[in-house]
Each structure stands twice: as structure tokens, then as C-alpha cells.
Amino acid sequence: MSCLYRMKLTSVVMILLAVVHSCGTEHPQKQPVPTQKEVNRSMEEINRQFARDESAQIDGYIERRGWTMSTTGTGLRYMVYEATEGIEIKAGDRIEVNYEVSLLNGDVLYTSKERGPHVFTVGKDNVESGLHEGVLFMKTGEKAKFILPSHLAHGLSGDNDKIPPRSSVVYDIELISVK
């Protein structure tokens, strides 16, 4: 969790605690200020609940489509739906992919049809960490679907363009080649 995010969330939690404590009191009383440890526990619980809710949304999305997807320890969901005997991908490979990026509500945000194929170095270039993780399950020529929870996609800030903050992202990927 970034320091800036922690500071912002700490401020929000402290304000919320102050408001909750001040509501409904008829006699002004000095309320104890929560300790940093209490604020941290509150933030951790808020994040855990968000992660549980997001995971349930992703699972519902998968179930509605009748997909069978694997889940990694980080929460990435993936499914290779067109397998080949191509070259296995490893960290450090420079790869080229066709893609379609959408949200769980079905809104298509970016496609290689509009922008052209994307080329990046696995494990090094500035793309979503979930994308780096997902392509390691692929071989050249394969097609796969990935669902990246927000912490593996664009997190708290979104992409400052089309992807909103805290959004799960669906990738439909075709691994064209290793360069």
C-alpha cells in the first residue's frame, strides 16, 4: 500500500471516526483520538472488505458467463481458451499482443484494433502487474482471458483516462509473438 494512499485513508478514517463520535451527543465531551494502530486496523479491515466484495463481483461475472478460470495467489483469474504448441513465455521476453480491455460492466475501453498491437517486456515494462503475471501462463499463438482485480490493474487512481479508480479489468489477449 502506498504511503500517499495510507495517509489519505488515515485522514478519511479519522474524520469519519470524529463525525461518528460527535453525532448524537447532547453534551459536548472530549472524545479520545484514535491511535495510529487503531486507524491502521480500520484501514486494513476496509481494504479486506473491499477485496472480498471485489472478488465476489469477479466470481459472479465469471459464473454468469459460464467460464472456468484458474485463480492465482494474487487474485488474478485466467483462462487460456485457444491453446497452441507455441513458445512458452518467461520473464524478460519482449512480446507482442493483441488485446481488448473492458470493465466488468461490459464497457470496452481499449483494443488493439484501434491502437495496434502492444509490445512490452515481461516483468519490466510499465503495464499492469496482472498482465505481466497472466502472460506467463501463455505460449505464442494462444488466446486467453484475464480478470485483473484492481490491485493488479490500476488500483486506487485508475488510469486517468478510461479506467476508473478501484476497477477490475478484463483482458482478452492474443499472444502474437516473442520478439
Domain containing 74: what range?
70-178
Give how far the C-alpha of residue 105 lies from the chain's centroid of Cα atoms, to the nearest Å: 15
Q: How many domains does the chain have?
A: 2
**Last residue within a domain, chosen from 38, 65, 92:** 65
| CATH number reported for the structural domain that contains residue 101 in this entry | 3.10.50.40
Please state, in angstroms and as integers, the Cα–Cα distance from residue 108 to each residue in 71, 105, 171, following that order.
Answer: 23, 9, 10
pLDDT of residue 130: 95
pTM check: above 0.75: yes
**Last residue within a domain, chosen from 20, 45, 65:** 65
Same-domain status, 58 and 12: yes
pLDDT per residue over 131-146, tens digit each? 999 999 999 999 999 9
pLDDT per residue over 69-87, tens digit each? 999 999 999 999 999 999 9
Same-domain status, 43 and 75: no
DSSP string, 155-179: TTTTTSSSSPTT--EEEEEEEEEE-
Same-domain status, 82 and 23: no
Same-domain status, 124 and 159: yes
Mean pLDDT of the chain, nearest integer? 88
pLDDT at 8 exceeding the cut of 60: no
**Last residue within a domain, chosen from 14, 37, 65:** 65
Burial class, 139, CB count within 10 angstroms (exposed 0-12 / middle 13-18 / buried 19+):
middle
Same-domain status, 47 and 106: no
Q: What's the rounded Cα separation, in Å, for the pair 83 and 109?
A: 26
Residue 96 CB-half CA count within 13 A? 8
Q: What's the rounded Cα separation, in Å, for the pair 151 and 148?
A: 8
Q: What's the rounded Cα separation, in Å, for the pair 18 and 93?
A: 51
Same-domain status, 58 and 78: no
